[in-house]
Amino acid sequence: MPEPRIVRHPLVDVRLTTLRDETTDRASFRAAVRELTAMVVYEAMRHAPTRPVELRTPVTTTTGAELATPTVLVPVLRAGLGMAEAAHAQVPGAIMGFVGMARDEETLQPTTYLASLPASLAGRPVLVLDPMLATGGSMAGTIDLLVEHGADDVTAVCLVAAPEGIARLAQAHPGVGVVAAAVDERLNEHGYIVPGLGDAGDRQFGAM
Ligand code: URA
């Protein structure tokens, strides 16, 4: 697996601090998720191929650029839903698929409850959006589904990752890149990232 790409920037640190702070209210938390998502997606698209386009400015003709291949964005429900709009704003021409993964809190194993994906993902860059790469189970399970749909160019886009999740993903899907705003210390005995930010789904949408 390529080395995880960690986005290092003071504005990333400030948004992460907002997310980590347990006193941050839900609206501010969602806003920080959106802002941080724009930054990590920007980094995830760094090497996206472009092709030249000819255009006229008000002054002359010139050559611009457009993305060569339509990107596919796949938020992993529930927590990844909060990243979807900001990611789409960065890549307005992207197609959006959806995967629903629930984690069994006893076994920590993921189960799929929704898969709404384009028929073929072959040859398309796919960005999987999930704020927390914890055990890596949901991400690996989602990428299994994407590979079944032909995906061959997948990047996991996260806000906070745990070393355990990165290692599991590297083992399950060695060709998949990871872009994150932070790699934290470890998982605790409940599968939460430490220091982390708690349950990203609950903090955005409320505890179920
Ligand atoms: N999912 C979360 O929302 N938070 C964690 O710390 C781990 C998994």
**pLDDT the model gives residue 109:** 76
**pLDDT the model gives residue 1:** 63
CATH of the domain at 97: 3.40.50.2020
Q: Kindly tell me if the per-residue pLDDT of 129 is higher than 70.
A: yes
Evaluate whether 178 touches 156 at the Cβ level (below 8 Å): yes
CA 11, 17, 23, 26 torsion-angle sign: positive
108 is in an annotated binding site: no
Residue 207 in domain? no
**pLDDT the model gives residue 110:** 81
**pLDDT the model gives residue 111:** 87
Task: Give the number of the atom of ligand 1 that is nearest the alpha carbon of residue 194.
Answer: 6
Residue 52 in domain? no
Rounded to two decimals, the pTM is 0.95
Q: Report residues whose beta carbon is within 6 angstroms of any ligand 1 atom.
A: 79, 132, 134, 191-193, 196, 199-201
> In angstroms, what CA-CA distances link 114 with 94, 101, 154?
20, 7, 19
Domain count, the chain: 1
**pLDDT the model gives residue 108:** 66
Residue 27 in domain? yes
Identified catalytic residue from 5, 20, 30, 103? 103
Residue 177 in domain? yes
Half-sphere exposure of 81 (CA within 13 A, CB side): 12
For 81-118, what is each residue's pLDDT tens digit? 999 999 999 999 999 999 998 867 777 678 899 999 99
**Residue 166's domain spans which residues?**
5-46+70-194
* Mean pLDDT value of segment 63-88: 97
H or E stretch covering 89: helix 81-90
Residue 201 in domain? no
- On average, the pLDDT of the chain sits at 95
Identified catalytic residue from 5, 18, 144, 202? 202
Residue 64 in domain? no
Residue 93 in domain? yes
Q: Kindly tell me if the per-residue pLDDT of 119 is higher than 80.
A: yes
Q: Kindly tell me if the per-residue pLDDT of 2 is higher than 80.
A: no
**pLDDT the model gives residue 104:** 73
Residue 33 in domain? yes
